[in-house]
Each structure stands twice: as structure tokens, then as C-alpha cells.
Amino acid sequence: MADFSNDTPGVMACPPSVFLGALAAGLFLHWLAPVQPFPLILSQSLGGAFCLAGITVGIWGGTTMRRAGTNARPGRPVTALVTGGPFRFSRNPLYLSLTALYLGVTLLFDAIWPLATLLPALAVVHWRIVLREEQFLESRFGDAYRAYKARVHRWL
């Protein structure tokens, strides 16, 4: 059996820090020049729903990865290909959960600026993290990952 204990995708940043940095920048811009585009009750209701969805999918994905015996953090060794739980619907449910949580907080603040800072964050996550992880997983798990990739969408 192969030893995967030191194998990581070598991503450039921890994804939650990318989202948190972008959200902080967007909320700072909102503090400087507030733009509140939605009625408060709509914004807070949708924000709560997005936060709940993000937290739920994040916990489900993390639990699924732990049960499979691998790490959720991209800087840690990858020891198993996870295809169950929320990974049946998306190859990146944890990043989707972070995006939903980000959108939820944005809506709770009824702020427009974080939407502008979300786009560069998603670009960084896609180009500098997801694509690198996919390349790593394909080299690590070969045909099993290619088959998984063929049947499950990258995002939704």
C-alpha cells in the first residue's frame, strides 16, 4: 500500500483565509461608503438562509472527509479520494459552503461591496487552489479520480 502521508496539493493559501480577506475588504468598503440595496427583512432572511446552508454543507463535507480518513485542509496530506456525502453533487462542496457563508454574511450586512470583492476571491480559489488540487488528485488517484471527475461537476 502506498504511503500518502506527505503528499499535498501544495496550494498557495488556505481557502478560508482567501474568503475571509475578501469579506473583510468588502465590509471595510461598506463601512466607508455604505450601499444597502435590499429591504432589511429580505436581506436578513436570505442572509440567514445562506449562512445556514453554508454551515450545514461545510460540516457535512468536513465530517465526510474525516470519516474517509483524509484531511479537509489542502495543506495537509491527502490519503483518500472522497466521493460520498456532498461530494456526490460537487467536487468542491467545501468551497461552495464558504461561498454560501460569504454571501450570507454579505446579505446580513445588506452590503453590496463584498460582492465586488468576492469575484477576485473566487478567481484565486479557482485558478490557484482548485485547479492545482485537481491536478494533484488526478496524479494521486489516476483513473478513479478521472471517473469521479467525469460524473460529478466541479461546482454544481
Whether residue 76 is contained in a domain is answered as yes
Whether residue 8 is contained in a domain is answered as no
Task: Tell me the angle at which helices 113-124 and 93-108 cross, rounded to the nearest 10 degrees.
Answer: 170
Whether residue 37 is contained in a domain is answered as yes
| pLDDT range class, residue 77, cuts 50, 70, 90 | confident
And the C-alpha cell for 102? 460569504
Q: Is the pTM of this model over 0.85?
A: yes
Q: CA–CA separation, 148 vs 26, rounded Å? A: 35
Q: CA–CA separation, 156 vs 90, rounded Å? A: 5
- In this prediction, residue 2 carries a pLDDT of 47
Whether residue 10 is contained in a domain is answered as no
Number of domains in the chain: 1
Whether residue 5 is contained in a domain is answered as no
- Who's near 54: CB < 8 A, 6+ residues apart? 97, 98, 99, 100, 101, 102, 103, 104
Q: Which domain, by its residues, includes 103? A: 15-151
Whether residue 92 is contained in a domain is answered as yes
Q: Give the model confidence (pLDDT) of 105-134 as tens digits.
A: 999 999 999 999 999 999 999 999 999 999
